[in-house]
Amino acid sequence: MSAPARPHDPPARRALSANEVSADLLNGQSRALLHALHLLTPDGKLNADARRKLKQINHFAGLLRPALHTALDLAEPLTLVDAGTGNGYLGLLLYELFIGPAGAGEVIGLESNGQLVDRATSRARHMGFDRMRFVATRVAEFDPIARNLAVVALHACDTATDDAIALGLRREAKVVAVVPCCQAELAHSLSAVRADHALAPLWRFPILRRGFAAHLTNVLRALVLECHGYQVTVTELVGWEHSFKNELILARKVQRGNSQARNQLKALLQLFPGVRMGLLDAWGPDA
């Protein structure tokens, strides 16, 4: 049984009865999919945790809508890759809202855990989503052949977000949209920077280092995308609940490259000698 809402719980944290659920649904979003995803209980209620998840994927879909519509309007059918798909929540929703109604294109969910792939595959079959498939692979090892590509990733762990960005860059995706998870790579390399470096107090304490590294990592991700001709926005996904895991980096390909962003990235990196990030090795200013 789910815990009763406390009087001071903000509305988004409250469970919803079956009659109230419609208020949280997007146009075109079915209760059948939410049942298949076990977000709705068998009697149609939405408990507080499921409601938080639903809010994340719905906001993601809403913020992505304009960029996806532009990609869907192109002559080539859209291939949409959901990297680190887990239970497939986001990919299945994007199929239901965009790729299904478009009548062409496909959704591919990438997931390293084979059991999750099997489960998500049966959900897609159950829903009759016949242009959707899940592949048991690490994101970095997948190379889609698609002329019109969008890559999304919601809380893909650690460097899997960067692998999703790299996949988008490699294949010149029209849209790359990621909400990163915790990121340890850069925090680790910051701890190796000399303690007498003028900026070292910014990351002296582990908790501040994690926060600073998460911030710097997302700044670098945005700049890398800009260097490669993307127009980038970074916005909040859902509200205050998810703190460091709540930034949506949304990038649309608008030009071949951007020398101003490249210079900015170079200048920024000069301030942080010794900082290492795989994405920079492959796609940084000197790549």
Ligand X SMILES: C[S@@+](CC[C@H](N)C(=O)[O-])C[C@H]1O[C@@H](n2cnc3c(N)ncnc32)[C@H](O)[C@@H]1O
Which parts of this chain interact with ligand X (CB under 6 A)?
A: 84-87, 89-90, 110-113, 116, 138-139, 154-157, 160, 163, 181
Q: Which is nearer to ligand X, 171 or 266 (CB)?
A: 171
Unique residue bearing structure tokens 């049984």 = 1
Q: Which residue is nearest to ligand X (CB)?
A: 86
Residue 108 in contact with residue 82, Cβ under 8 Å?
Answer: yes
Q: Which is nearer to ligand X, 39 or 68 (CB)?
A: 39
- Where does 149-258 have alpha helices with state H? 160-170, 185-190, 206-227
CA neighbor of 12 nearest in space, from 238, 256, 258, 180 = 238
Q: How far is the CB of 93 from ligand X (least distance, A)?
A: 10
Question: What distance lies between CA 232 and its chain's CA centroid?
Answer: 14
Q: How far is the CB of 154 from ligand X (least distance, A)?
A: 4
Alpha carbons 239 and 248: distance in angstroms, whole number: 12
Helix (H) and strand (E) counts in the chain: 10, 7
Q: How far is the CB of 58 from ligand X (least distance, A)?
A: 12
Q: Which is nearer to ligand X, 188 or 204 (CB)?
A: 188
Q: Which is nearer to ligand X, 167 or 227 (CB)?
A: 167
Q: Which is nearer to ligand X, 52 or 197 (CB)?
A: 52
Crossing angle of helices 206-227 and 160-170, in 10° steps, is 10
Q: Which is nearer to ligand X, 48 or 157 (CB)?
A: 157
Alpha carbons 34 and 39: distance in angstroms, whole number: 5
Q: Which is nearer to ligand X, 96 or 111 (CB)?
A: 111
Give whole-number Cα distances, 32 to 116, 156, 283, in Å.
20, 26, 41
Residue 174 in contact with residue 150, Cβ under 8 Å?
Answer: yes
Q: How far is the CB of 255 from ligand X (least distance, A)?
A: 29
CA neighbor of 112 nearest in space, from 91, 83, 92, 89 = 83
Q: How far is the CB of 229 from ligand X (least distance, A)?
A: 25
Q: How far is the CB of 52 from ligand X (least distance, A)?
A: 11
Alpha carbons 95 and 277: distance in angstroms, whole number: 32
Q: How far is the CB of 243 from ligand X (least distance, A)?
A: 15
